[in-house]
Amino acid sequence: MKVFVDTRLIEEKDYLKLKKQFPSIDFTDDFSKSKDIEVFFGLNSILTKANIKEYKDLKWIQLYMAGFDNVDVNGYKEKGIMISNARDIFSITIAEDVISKMLYFNRDTLAFVNNKAKKVWQPIHEEKEIYNSTIGIIGTGSIGKEVAKRLQSFSPKKINGHRRKNKPVKYFDNIYTGELGLKKVIKQADYLILAMPLNKDTKYLFDYEKLSLMKESSLLINIARGEVVVQSDLVKILEERKIIGAALDVTDPEPLEKTSKLWELDNVFITPHNASSSEYMKKRLYELTKDNLTRYLKGEKIKFLL
């Protein structure tokens, strides 16, 4: 049995540990030359560039990402190939990133950084608090839940969530569904956080009409996918100062074109799809690899099957 592991995302010492823990497995880190692999552990981009028909022994794909919008999940399933993602691996660090973006705007970070460069001592009074605010989170999966869990410690007035199915979700005060529910969450939110997957229902969901429902004092945070927002409409909303600002970890396209107006707007904070960055990421991916590979070998249910 041959197993491919993307060693760019696993520490060398942990890769060696895998080899010792599973001595009967033939591990490889060369996907292009290993057409006889049975199991794949790696990034989505490796699959999208490959001719999967050449991998006739492939039975299971473990993605090293939470998102899978660029992978033909149904196509693999039709071929009898199981596929799972790294659903919980990045949730904690992305949740912390969301809070950092909220505080960046609330505490006027850019102004103080600029004042420091100019050696200007200029207090800013009456800065915003997360306390007593209304937070809207579109998408209540693992990332949305970790965001809500941490934001509860700031004692907001309420945390509203929007999802497909109408059932309670831990850490959320209210759950809404459907078009009317979505509009209600948008209108009430002081902070609107996009954390849903990209699919046919969410692609370009947030156009000028939806964004116009936001309060002028509200902040948009997107850690989902750039394509859930019509970027030209967002630029217009920001230029017209119809919202206080936008904190974007994802854009459309990526990398963001240098000609994009988003770079120039003072009410935009951009990070380069970096919200998942963590000192613990490789360790968590190793633990997932070890755990799910053990399950696979024992014939047990694999975690995070799609």
Note the pLDDT tens digit of each residue in 25-76: 999 999 999 999 999 999 999 998 889 899 999 999 999 999 999 999 999 9
**Contacts of 46 by beta carbon, 8 Å cutoff, 6+ apart:** 6, 31, 40
pLDDT of res. 90:
95
What confidence tens digit (pLDDT) does each residue in 145-159 have? 999 999 999 999 999
- From CA 212, how far away is CA 243, in angstroms rounded? 8
pLDDT grade for 247, boundaries at 50, 70 and 90: very high
Same-domain check for residues 127 and 210:
yes
**Contacts of 154 by beta carbon, 8 Å cutoff, 6+ apart:** 129, 130, 131
CATH number for position 125: 3.40.50.720
Same-domain check for residues 9 and 82:
yes
Task: Sheet containing 219-222: give its strands across.
Answer: 174-176, 158-162, 134-138, 191-194, 219-222, 245-248, 268-270
Same-domain check for residues 136 and 36:
no
Phi, psi of 248 (to 5 degrees): -120, 120
Instruction: Flag whether 304 is in a domain.
Output: no
Q: State the pTM of this model.
A: 0.94
Number of domains present in the structure of the chain: 2
Instruction: Flag whether 61 is in a domain.
Output: yes
Instruction: Flag whether 123 is in a domain.
Output: yes
Same-domain check for residues 83 and 104:
no
Instruction: Flag whether 70 is in a domain.
Output: yes
The residues that bridge with 269 in the sheet, in sequence order, are 247
Closest among 132, 102, 91, 127 to 112, alpha carbons compared: 127
Note down the domain range covering 23. 2-89+279-298
Query: 206-220: string of b/e by CB count within 10 Å (b at 16+)?
Result: beeebbebbbeebbb
What confidence tens digit (pLDDT) does each residue in 157-188 have? 999 999 999 999 999 999 999 999 999 999 99
Instruction: Flag whether 225 is in a domain.
Output: yes
End-to-end CA distance of the chain: 23
Closest among 172, 142, 146 to 159, alpha carbons compared: 172
Same-domain check for residues 231 and 106:
yes
pLDDT grade for 271, boundaries at 50, 70 and 90: very high
pLDDT of res. 129:
98
The residues that bridge with 28 in the sheet, in sequence order, are 4
Instruction: Flag whether 137 is in a domain.
Output: yes
Same-domain check for residues 102 and 49:
no
Same-domain check for residues 99 and 164:
yes
